[in-house]
Amino acid sequence: MTVDQSLLEQIALSLDEYELIISRLDREPNPVELGMFGALWSEHCGYKHSKPLLRLLPNTGPRVLTGMGRENAGAIDIGDGLCVVMKVESHNHPSFVEPYQGAATGVGGIVRDIFAMGARPIAILDSLRFGPLSERHNRYLFCGVVGGIGGYGNCLGIPTVAGEVSFAGSYSGNPLVNAMCVGYARIDRLVRGRAEGPGNPLLLVGADTGRDGIGGANVLASRVFDEGSAELRPTVQVGNPFLEKLLMEACVDLAENHPDWFVGIQDLGAAGLTSSAIEAAARAGTGLEIDISRVPRREEGMNAYEVMLSESQERMLVIPRREHLEDVRALFERWELRSDVIGIVTDGGLARIRDGDQEVACLPIDVLTDPPEYRLQGQPPSYLAELQAFDPSSLPDLPDLLAGQVLEGFHLPPPDSDLSTAEAALWRLLACPEIASKRLVWRQYDHQVLTNTVVGPGSDAAVMRVRGTRRAIALTTDGSGRLCYLDPYAGGAMAVAEAARNLVCAGAEPLAITDCLNFGNPERLDVYYQLEQVVSGMAEACRVLNVPVVSGNVSLYNETSGEAVYPTPVVGMMGLFEDVDRRCPMGFQADGDLVFLLGAGLEAPAASLAGSDYLHEVHGLVAGRPGIDLALELRVQRACLEAIGRGLLRSAHDCSHGGLAVTAAESCIASSAFGGRGLDASGLAFAGRLDAALFGEAPSRIVVSCPPAARGNLEALAASHDVLLTYLGVAGGDRLRLGPHIALPVSELARVYEEGLPRALEG
């Protein structure tokens, strides 16, 4: 063996893996072949540490049309011969190195996954994590990422309709940028990413190939970062959304109108031409021959290694039927796109790469696409037992604190009037970047283009109409790294449950999940433990709630200088409305409506403060042990969905960040009344700890409202599902009143809620 160890480190292969390659090939690979192995055996493409765990996730169901990981995205039957195609992916490390282009090309890549399936993209969602905005560099990353998402998505003419933004110290060195795309297609026009039919040509369509992005799959996505990572800027791709728009329209045109002209489409994403061609051939059980001298280039002097591993954007590999090659090329020419025949499908099971007359690589495809798998014995992190043993009841309750103590050091001062301690806590939570309105983010996105958006950003879930039908779909992204940090199993289950609850609050039946699992270095046994437990918790929640996982992505090695991010599973979920008019808003709709808490009573245990925003913001602690009763969660969701379907509810809002008080405030702020609509719950008497009752974040709770005449039916329905229904008060007036503890004008709550994030960005 003559390979240099530093070369293996550069392409993220271990010495054992190199020796395995030699054993399988019965020879040493040449530099081009080694680069191809490095890309396809990287964690990003090969899922070496995660694939054994991903098999735990349920991925089948009567509506599921594609197996998880077998196509570019997951497809779900929504009736009448239509399907929804969806996927979420990460662009974390590129966004750390170059935030605008990293985020922009993340959007471009996930959109290509959707139209590679022949589906028209109709919605983008995002899930973003940054370090505290008090740090200048985090503000730079935040502004660059948000600008990149908006800049690329807006140019494509695809609305960005929902998402989430979260902040924690663990993301300072490694922000998380997850992008999700959703599209529609006719089931009979669904496209597979397969290189079928020996003799069919391989057609490279779109942008010329450059040196940008080389090594993205293994250099950026399969290694940890350190202080020198800024030098990796050349490995970040550069996007051209206007070219991608043409590429999207051309591929959709081809799929919808000429399905008999071709056999497959595959986008060029991570590892570029290597992964695109090899994966397409592997799915079909074929081989291929590529002549890289035919690949159009925008830079001189590129060698075979660079051409095969370039991650230049806006490129697709199309496999036309050979008798329709000129038809396909003419279609792309009409869309002003270059297309070049760079190779041919073969039947030998080999990938032969030539540069003119010289063969530069010859590898068995089944070896290239069969990286080793690692199933480790994870060990709980050393901090876990101590944090889980923390008892929130050891802290002083709200009546034992002063309002000044609660607001000390906070970036948004209170109004001149005196605040009670509970009011000060609510004020602080509404203004903290974690909870405050994200309008500053989504106002940079065009969320109405295409005119399918019924409910846009700022609600529990976005709602998109299915044109030509009464149907609509609901979309959301959710996940809490803080909860998974404290209890990975419970946190994974709670991420799935909250996403489903958000859809249910809108009135949609949850149908399917696409997920992105963001973790640190899986070779560390404590990180592997987190990954294993999170996936197990998600799998159990998926089974109980009957929501399969149809697609997704795993992003590992998210750590810088030895500090890993919180274990952060992002759950993208889609739900279905049979009738779009049955959607339910989150804000109170009418004066005199009765307001209830569905799923729990008013006495909350101190344990509900575990991992809460209140505990973090007021006491500076991330501690405790969160938990969830999935059987209760299912009953609550079924009760809410049935109540909306029967027309009993006028509003429903998931009780999560900030607990009951913040949820009630958001329902007031989101009211259809100009300036908001209040809630008079002044008659409430809270037993036990006041902080837990107002700000505890126990799951499986929904704040709902109904007309007075529906009260009896709602109470009977809740009882039939064995779910508590607790009366809170009456909607109306201009103040939020919660017992004797909180009485604040809704207009002031709305102001602090809207000003929180802009003020934090001022530094």
Q: Count CB atoms within 10 A of the CB of residue 708.
A: 10
Helix (H, G, I), strand (E, B) or coil at 64: strand
Q: Indicate the residue type of 181.
A: C
pLDDT band (50, 70, 90) for residue 232:
very low
pLDDT at 493: 98
* Mean pLDDT on 512-534: 97
Q: Indicate the residue type of 29.
A: P
pLDDT at 233: 45
pLDDT at 535: 98
- Decide: 540 and 546 in contact? Cβ < 8 Å: no
Tens of pLDDT, residue by residue over 170-192, are 999 899 999 999 999 999 999 99
* Mean pLDDT on 465-476: 95
How many whole angstroms separate alpha carbon 408 and alpha carbon 431?
13
- The mean predicted confidence, pLDDT, of the chain is 94
**Is residue 675 scored above 90 in pLDDT?**
no
DSSP 411-467: SSPPPSS---HHHHHHHHHHHSTTTS--HHHHTTS--STTS-EEE-TTSSSEEEE-T
* Full set of structural domains in the chain with CATH: 1-41+192-371 (3.90.650.10), 390-440+585-761 (3.90.650.10)
How many whole angstroms separate alpha carbon 540 and alpha carbon 545?
9
pLDDT band (50, 70, 90) for residue 215:
low
pLDDT at 562: 84
How many whole angstroms separate alpha carbon 22 and alpha carbon 18?
6
* Mean pLDDT on 231-237: 57
* Mean pLDDT on 555-583: 95
Tens of pLDDT, residue by residue over 62-85, are 999 997 778 899 999 999 999 999
Alpha helices in 561-629 (DSSP H): 613-619
* Mean pLDDT on 435-445: 95
Token output for 517:
């699992």
How many whole angstroms separate alpha carbon 582 and alpha carbon 644?
7
Span of 13-17, 226-230, 260-264, 727-731 with lowest mean pLDDT? 226-230
Q: How far is CA 652 from CA 544, 588, 637, in A?
A: 22, 8, 11
Q: What is the pTM of this model?
A: 0.95
pLDDT band (50, 70, 90) for residue 9:
confident
pLDDT band (50, 70, 90) for residue 416:
low
Active-site residues: which are they? Answer: 44, 91
How many whole angstroms separate alpha carbon 595 and alpha carbon 730?
6
